[in-house]
Amino acid sequence: MMGFLVIVAYYLVRVYSFIFVVYALLSFFPSAYQTWFGRMILQTVRPILLPLSKLPLQFGGFDWTILVLLIACDFLSSWLFHLAQLLG
């Protein structure tokens, strides 16, 4: 049972990683956040982005928050994958 929950958490982290990439790509299109799809992505991503916006991740003319989130998601999914293998 615990292995199943770890696998579900692993896939949720992977899906969230994809959503972060979509959020970053939407920033290249001027009015993409005003569409229903853009609003849905914003509602999904904002609760995680808001706490990180307080960190000094904006430098060099770029906001590196998404990159930090993607790296964190990658580490978390890797850890969950190895944990699922251990629980086997």
Per-residue pLDDT of the chain (88 residues; tens, 9 = 90+): 788 999 999 999 999 999 999 999 999 998 999 999 999 999 999 999 999 888 898 888 888 999 999 999 999 999 999 999 898 7
Count how many Cα atoms sit within 13 Å of the Cα of residue 74 in the half-sphere of its side chain.
7
pLDDT of residue 2: 83
- Contact between 84 and 4 under an 8 Å Cβ cutoff? The reply is no
Strands 58-59 and 62-63: antiparallel
> Looking at the 3D structure of the chain, how many domains does it have?
1
- Domain extent, residue 53, equals 2-87
pLDDT of residue 24: 93
